[in-house]
Amino acid sequence: MAIKDIFEKLNSIEIDFSGISHWLAKYTFRYSRISLYEDLSGMLNDGINVKRALTHLIDVETDYGKKTGSSATYYICCECLNALNNTGAISSSLKKYIKEDEYQLISSGEIRGDLAGGLVQAIKIVRSRSEMTMTLVMSMIYPSVLVFGCLANMYMVHDTITPVFLSLAPKERWTSSMRLLTDTSGFLIENGTYILCFCIVLFFLIRYSLARYTGPGRQYLDYIPPWSLYKTFNGVSFLFNMASMLSIDIPVAKALERLEKNSTQNRWLLERIKEIRRYVLLGQSLAMAMKSCGYDFPSKLCINKLLLHSENADNALMMSNYADKWLEEAKGKVKSTGVWITVVSALIVFAFIVMMITALYDVSNVLQH
């Protein structure tokens, strides 16, 4: 075959990138979903029905048919519109793209006939999670710089200062501060690879355990970050969902059953909802069932607050208001955690500097003797 024929065949091949574009758009939806939630809830609050609102969003993304839609909003709106035509609800099409707590809030909003309200609650959860994550990331920057600086000094001690100490005096004559400085630096530098691997494995184990690890040991971990933050997010979502369903007179046991069905992928949450539902079926109020199950879920303070109003312990408005307040308090706790991380890392670096200065000062004493 002539080279010219080969080039002609290559030129005639049409490569379809629409599948890749579709996948990328769906993957990036997590970063643009707040905008979609806001636009959709805004139109619903203006009295526009769901189908018309979705159609309008699709028209905007395609410039009313002048271009091919390629954004995450376009593809998700198309799927939502198909789901609406087939099932009468959009939450089922969103389930595979968003977190479980968001899905439950939107689904509960549809159940009570207030999709806009469910979207607003989902926005609160997403924004609060983003704010807390950003707060922790920003609060870790300065401590990370301090720690890396400390490690650089340890490397210098291990590689440069320790040989100098050995050339000046045998190790038997070293002071305790000199031994502590060189031994600490040597241990961390020589075992740095193992320590790094351990930290990476620990990170993935923690992430894996958030939704999967259950049992007595988990109850203690739920008071320690990051498990405590995970408990807070799910607790707030739980209260919002219960408030949504109780507001349209769905029985407590039935509401818990629906949440249980939607939590099959989250063993940790499923364990708590099942136990609460068991006590509700025994005749207890929701607040008393939360206390009886022994998990302190959503939180011990929340349960006590609900028990203070035992006559209307299943009041939907009270739960929703407390969830809002709890979410704001959680943001403050994350900021406090960031401050403590900075303080602790600064103290560690300060202690190393003091240890280094003391060891260098002791060198002169060793030489004099």
- This prediction has a pTM of 0.73
| CA pair distance 22, 43, nearest whole angstrom | 26
CB 228 within 8 A of CB 219: no
Q: How many CB atoms lie within 10 A of CB 24?
A: 14
Burial 308-345 (b: 16+ CB within 10 A, else e): eeeeebbbbebbbebbeebbeebeeebbebbeebbeeb
- Alpha helices per DSSP H over 191-251: 192-212, 216-221, 227-246
Highest mean pLDDT: which of 21-30, 278-287, 322-331? 278-287
Query: 3-class SS at 69?
Result: coil
pLDDT score of 19: 57
Based on the number of CB atoms within 10 Å of its own CB, is 263 exposed (0-12), middle (13-18) or buried (19 or more)? buried
Question: Is it the case that residue 26 has pLDDT exceeding 70?
Answer: no
Question: Is it the case that residue 267 has pLDDT exceeding 90?
Answer: yes
Q: Give 12's DSSP letter.
A: H
pLDDT score of 277: 94
**Predicted confidence band at 20 (pLDDT cuts at 50, 70, 90)?**
low
Highest mean pLDDT: which of 47-51, 317-321, 332-336, 363-367? 47-51
- How many angstroms separate the Cα of 250 from the Cα of each of 112, 275, 307, 321, 369? 9, 19, 21, 19, 85
Instruction: Note the pLDDT tens digit of each residue in 178-231.
Output: 888 889 888 988 898 999 999 999 999 999 999 999 988 998 999 988 898 889
Q: Which two tokens stand for residue 271?
A: 């364990």
Domains of the chain: 18-98 (no CATH), 125-197+346-368 (no CATH), 227-333 (1.20.81)
pLDDT score of 40: 92
**Predicted confidence band at 22 (pLDDT cuts at 50, 70, 90)?**
low
**Predicted confidence band at 53 (pLDDT cuts at 50, 70, 90)?**
very high
Q: Which of 167, 186, 153, 155 is nearest to 366 (CA)?
A: 167
Question: Is it the case that residue 4 has pLDDT exceeding 60?
Answer: no
Instruction: Provide the total of helices (H) and of strands (E) in the chain, helices listed first.
Output: 18, 0
pLDDT score of 21: 58
| CA pair distance 20, 104, nearest whole angstrom | 29
Q: Which two tokens stand for residue 167?
A: 């050339």
Q: Which two tokens stand for residue 322?
A: 């407390």
pLDDT score of 206: 93
Q: Which two tokens stand for residue 141?
A: 């920057």
CB 118 within 8 A of CB 240: no
**Predicted confidence band at 314 (pLDDT cuts at 50, 70, 90)?**
low
Average pLDDT of the segment spanning 75-91: 88
Within 8 A by CB and 6+ apart from 146, the residues are 345, 346, 348, 349
pLDDT score of 95: 83
**Predicted confidence band at 12 (pLDDT cuts at 50, 70, 90)?**
very low
**Predicted confidence band at 276 (pLDDT cuts at 50, 70, 90)?**
very high
Burial 176-199 (b: 16+ CB within 10 A, else e): ebbeebbeebeebbeeeeeeeeee
pLDDT score of 305: 82
Average pLDDT of the segment spanning 146-170: 86
Tokens 């989902």 appear where? 122
Backbone angles phi, psi at 316, to 5 degrees: -65, -45
pLDDT score of 281: 93
Q: Is the dihedral of CA 71, 76, 82, 88 positive or negative?
A: negative
Mean pLDDT of the chain: 83
Q: Which two tokens stand for residue 306?
A: 């609900």
Question: Is it the case that residue 32 has pLDDT exceeding 70?
Answer: yes
| CA pair distance 102, 289, nearest whole angstrom | 24
Question: Is it the case that residue 44 has pLDDT exceeding 50?
Answer: yes
pLDDT score of 207: 92
Q: Which two tokens stand for residue 150?
A: 């400390």
CB 230 within 8 A of CB 209: no
pLDDT score of 7: 44
What's CA 251's distance to the chain center, in Å?
31
